[in-house]
């Protein structure tokens, strides 16, 4: 039983971070129609930058702020420099472009930071697990921070889209692109802001994922990215709460499937099982698990 | 709204002449290389690799380009053909003439399974669904490798007739030419028109009597079969097979050949396949390991990605589109 509860602790931690990345993917897809694989490695670059900044004399809060702003700026810049110029190409080409950007950023990270950096954890996250009473359930402060990050940022995004001028413009643009243009909303601006926000969300996700890793490499965001893309698709590529919930579901299932349960040990096949479950869910509810809760209605 | 053009124009005289000239040149190439260049065997080895990528790109073109079903599943089909051939040759010691068609059949079956999601979902969802298939296939191949074979790769003997680089070059050339001829006839006929009609508008295609579900599935089967043929040839060329080679990056490579070359046309797959394979070979084998302060091998993914990004921005309809439609009609759609 405590095994299962520990899987739940870890699953919700990972899932919340996959969900965060998925929020950015949904935001970009809704406003620009591009399935963005690039965001995962925007987070990678920003997290590795934070790793380097913590070695300098700057105060930690400034390191963190620089990394977050850097992640958002990188997202925005990539949209301007690489995605927008290709906007005349068909969707499949744009998807390949975002995959190419993903590889590009990975190559850059490899050039700057090498294959793996030393096992330095990103402060100030405390990853020491403490047993809760005598329950056999272990919890680290980092787990709590990760649990909170998903819902808090999703809530912040919700408020932004609901109550600010820019947020309303973004929803209008996602909902009725033509009408939004007619009332003077610039689609290019909306797309760039979406990429910037996506970069910010990816950065938070990557920093918290990195904090839990023993060492950082140039490829540590590939797996989270794949789960996030799956989560975004399960959320119908349209729903923010749907993407977050699907991220949590994937995170928990991934951990539970890796826990040996009873005599039938399927842990070696956990990834195949999870991907198959995903396909079954996607095909059973093709509008997403939470059809109806679109971005336009938040 | 674009008019419903044929996916491939009727054979024109210049095209046939050009194809014949290229084929003649490729047939004579081993002799020419032998006379004027050293290291001819290795160049022929690389050229066979170009042919293999052209076949795979053609398969992806049928599926993602012509029939308009964005599939990231290329690596799974490539792997199905590659693993199929490896197992049939190395474990069951079948002769090549029997093993190769069976490996292609295995890939076609994988395509049929992969096509099931396409009956329910479209566009970006289909891309994500096929992405999941790549990871499932790679995981299963890896499990087979570690649990049944208990090694990280499976060695595959090349039949004695094909051991030389020159004979393998001619073999690949013949298979590539046959595959392209087949794809060409397919696209010029009823099937190709049905694919293109479905891509442009499903309701319109159905009104014209195109069975949507069956045609989508057929595109998956044919695309997977060609991609699997390429995978089988590569296994034969490399002499071994390992599941680590059939990941997402292979899918991206195959699809980027289609996108850079030109989506929706056979010439796009040929141009894209040649370009992507050529650039890869250039960086891996032809350039020095370091150019000044730059580590060429480590910089390759960066340059490769930039090439794709710039090519799509500059030629949205692909190189093939830019070449034959002139600058005024370069917009892809």
Q: What is the DSSP string of B203-224?
A: HHHHHTT--HHHHHHHHHHHHH
Query: Two tokens at B111?
Result: 């395509």
State how far the Cα of A142 lies from the Cα of A147, in Å rounded to an integer: 9
> Would you call B316 and A97 a contact, using CB atoms and an 8 Å cutoff?
no
The beta-carbon neighbor of A279 closest among B132, B143, B256 is B132
Query: Two tokens at A115?
Result: 């294959």
How far apart are the CA of A173 and the nearest CA of chain B, in angstroms? 19
B42 vs B271, residue with greater confidence: B271
| Integer angstrom CA distances of residue A265 from A231, A270, B143 | 26, 10, 14
Q: What residues of chain B lie within 8 A of the CB of A226, using their CB? A: 131, 135, 248
State how far the Cα of B18 lies from the Cα of B34, in Å rounded to an integer: 24
In the predicted model, is pLDDT for residue A293 greater than 50? no
In the predicted model, is pLDDT for residue A48 greater than 70? yes
State how far the Cα of A205 lies from the Cα of A194, in Å rounded to an integer: 16
How far apart are the CA of A285 and the nearest CA of chain B, in angstroms? 10
Over chain A, what is the mean pLDDT?
Answer: 87
State how far the Cα of A224 lies from the Cα of A208, in Å rounded to an integer: 12
> Would you call B70 and A95 a contact, using CB atoms and an 8 Å cutoff?
yes
Provide the β-strand partners of residue B291: B294
pTM of the full structure: 0.90
Please give the pLDDT value at position B325. 58
Give the DSSP H or E segment for A131.
Answer: strand A130-131
Angle of the B123-143 helix axis to the B96-118 helix axis, nearest 10: 140
Q: Model confidence over B110-143: pLDDT tens digits?
A: 999 998 888 888 888 999 999 999 999 999 999 8
Mutation for A interface: B73, B128, B303, most A CBs within 10 A: B128
> Would you call B135 and A226 a contact, using CB atoms and an 8 Å cutoff?
yes
Nearest 10 degrees: Cα torsion B213, B217, B222, B228: 170
> Would you call A276 and B263 a contact, using CB atoms and an 8 Å cutoff?
no
Provide the β-strand partners of residue B106: none
How far apart are the CA of A144 and the nearest CA of chain B, in angstroms? 30
Specify whether the CB–CB gap between B146 and A285 falls below 8 A. Answer: no
Local confidence band at A263 (pLDDT 50, 70, 90 cut-offs): low
Closest CA to A279 of B330, B134, B18: B134
Mean pLDDT in residue range B315-327: 77
The beta-carbon neighbor of B132 closest among A82, A93, A230 is A230
Over chain B, what is the mean pLDDT?
Answer: 87
The beta-carbon neighbor of A275 closest among B70, B125, B135 is B135
In the predicted model, is pLDDT for residue B100 greater than 50? yes
In the predicted model, is pLDDT for residue B4 greater than 60? no
**CA nearest to B302 within chain A:** A104
Alpha helix (H) residue ranges in B92-247:
96-118, 123-143, 165-188, 190-200, 202-207, 212-238
What ipTM was assigned to the predicted interfaces of this complex?
0.89
The beta-carbon neighbor of B259 closest among A93, A106, A237 is A93
Local confidence band at A292 (pLDDT 50, 70, 90 cut-offs): very low
Mutation for B interface: A44, A78, A93, most B CBs within 10 A: A93
> Would you call B131 and A82 a contact, using CB atoms and an 8 Å cutoff?
no
Local confidence band at B9 (pLDDT 50, 70, 90 cut-offs): low
State how far the Cα of A226 lies from the Cα of A239, in Å rounded to an integer: 18
A265 vs A267, residue with greater confidence: A267
Specify whether the CB–CB gap between A21 and A202 falls below 8 A. Answer: yes
B136 vs A: CB within 8 A: yes
Task: Reply yes or no: is the peptide bond before residue A22 cis, omega within 30 of 0.
Answer: no
> Would you call B139 and A271 a contact, using CB atoms and an 8 Å cutoff?
yes
In the predicted model, is pLDDT for residue A240 greater than 60? yes
Specify whether the CB–CB gap between A191 and A24 falls below 8 A. Answer: no
> Would you call B125 and A96 a contact, using CB atoms and an 8 Å cutoff?
no
**Start-to-end Cα distance in chain B:** 9
State how far the Cα of A152 lies from the Cα of A27, in Å rounded to an integer: 16
Closest CA to A102 of A202, A197, A207: A202
The beta-carbon neighbor of A272 closest among B123, B140, B248 is B140
Closest CA to A43 of A230, A238, A222: A222
């Amino acid at each position: 039983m405590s095994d299962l509860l520990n899987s739940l602790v870890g699953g919700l931690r990972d899932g919340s971070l996959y969900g965060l990345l998925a929020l950015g993917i949904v935001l970009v897809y809704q406003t620009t129609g591009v399935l963005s694989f690039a965001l995962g490695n925007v987070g990678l670059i920003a997290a590795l930058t934070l790793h380097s900044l913590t070695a300098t004399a700057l105060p930690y809060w400034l390191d963190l702020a620089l990394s977050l702003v850097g992640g958002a700026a990188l997202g925005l810049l990539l949209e301007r420099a690489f995605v927008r110029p290709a906007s005349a190409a068909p969707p499949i080409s744009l998807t390949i472009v975002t995959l190419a950007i993903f590889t590009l950023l990975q190559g850059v990270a490899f050039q700057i930071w090498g294959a793996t950096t030393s096992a330095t954890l990103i402060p100030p996250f405390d990853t020491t697990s403490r047993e809760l009473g005598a329950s056999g359930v272990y919890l680290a402060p980092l787990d709590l921070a990760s649990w909170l990050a998903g819902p808090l940022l999703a809530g912040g995004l919700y408020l932004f889209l609901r109550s600010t001028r820019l947020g309303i413009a973004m929803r209008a643009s996602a909902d009725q692109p033509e009408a939004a243009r007619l009332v003077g909303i610039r689609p290019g601006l909306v797309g760039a802001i979406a990429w910037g926000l996506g970069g910010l969300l990816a950065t938070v996700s990557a920093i918290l994922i990195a904090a839990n890793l023993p060492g950082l490499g140039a490829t540590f965001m590939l797996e989270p990215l794949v789960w996030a893309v799956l989560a975004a698709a399960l959320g119908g590529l349209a729903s923010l709460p749907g993407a977050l919930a699907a991220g949590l579901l994937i995170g928990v299932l991934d951990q539970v499937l890796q826990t040996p349960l009873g005599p039938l040990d399927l842990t070696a096949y956990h990834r195949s099982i999870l991907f198959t479950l995903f396909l079954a869910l996607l095909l059973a509810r093709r509008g997403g698990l939470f059809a109806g809760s679109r971005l336009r209605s938040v | 709204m674009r008019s419903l053009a044929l996916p491939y124009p009727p054979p024109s005289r210049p095209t046939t002449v050009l194809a014949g000239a290229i084929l003649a040149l490729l047939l004579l190439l081993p002799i020419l290389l032998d006379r004027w260049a050293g290291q001819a065997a290795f160049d022929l080895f690389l050229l066979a690799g170009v042919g293999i990528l052209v076949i795979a790109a053609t398969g992806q073109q049928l599926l993602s380009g012509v029939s308009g079903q964005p599939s990231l599943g290329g690596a799974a089909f490539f792997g199905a053909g590659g693993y199929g051939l490896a197992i049939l040759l190395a474990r069951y010691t079948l002769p090549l003439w029997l093993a190769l068609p069976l490996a292609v059949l295995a890939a076609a079956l994988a395509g049929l399974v992969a096509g099931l999601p396409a009956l329910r979902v479209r566009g970006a969802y289909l891309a994500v669904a096929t992405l999941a298939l790549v990871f499932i296939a790679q995981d299963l191949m890896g499990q087979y490798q570690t649990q049944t074979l208990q090694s990280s790769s499976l060695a595959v003997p090349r039949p004695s007739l094909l051991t030389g680089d020159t004979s393998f070059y001619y073999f690949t050339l013949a298979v590539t030419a046959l595959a392209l001829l087949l794809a060409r006839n397919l696209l010029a006929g009823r099937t190709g028109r049905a694919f293109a009609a479905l891509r442009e508008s499903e309701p319109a295609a159905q009104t014209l009597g195109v069975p949507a579900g069956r045609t989508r599935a057929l595109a998956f089967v044919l695309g997977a079969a060609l991609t699997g043929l390429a995978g089988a040839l590569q296994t034969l060329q490399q002499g071994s097979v390992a599941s680590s080679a059939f990941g997402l990056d292979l899918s991206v490579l195959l699809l980027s050949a289609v996108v850079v070359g030109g989506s929706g046309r056979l010439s796009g797959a040929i141009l894209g396949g040649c370009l992507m394979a050529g650039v890869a070979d250039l960086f891996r084998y032809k350039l020095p390991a370091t150019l000044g302060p730059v580590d060429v091998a480590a910089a390759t993914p960066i340059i490769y990605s930039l090439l794709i990004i710039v090519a799509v921005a500059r030629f949205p309809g692909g190189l093939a589109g830019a070449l034959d439609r002139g600058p005024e009609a370069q917009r892809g759609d």
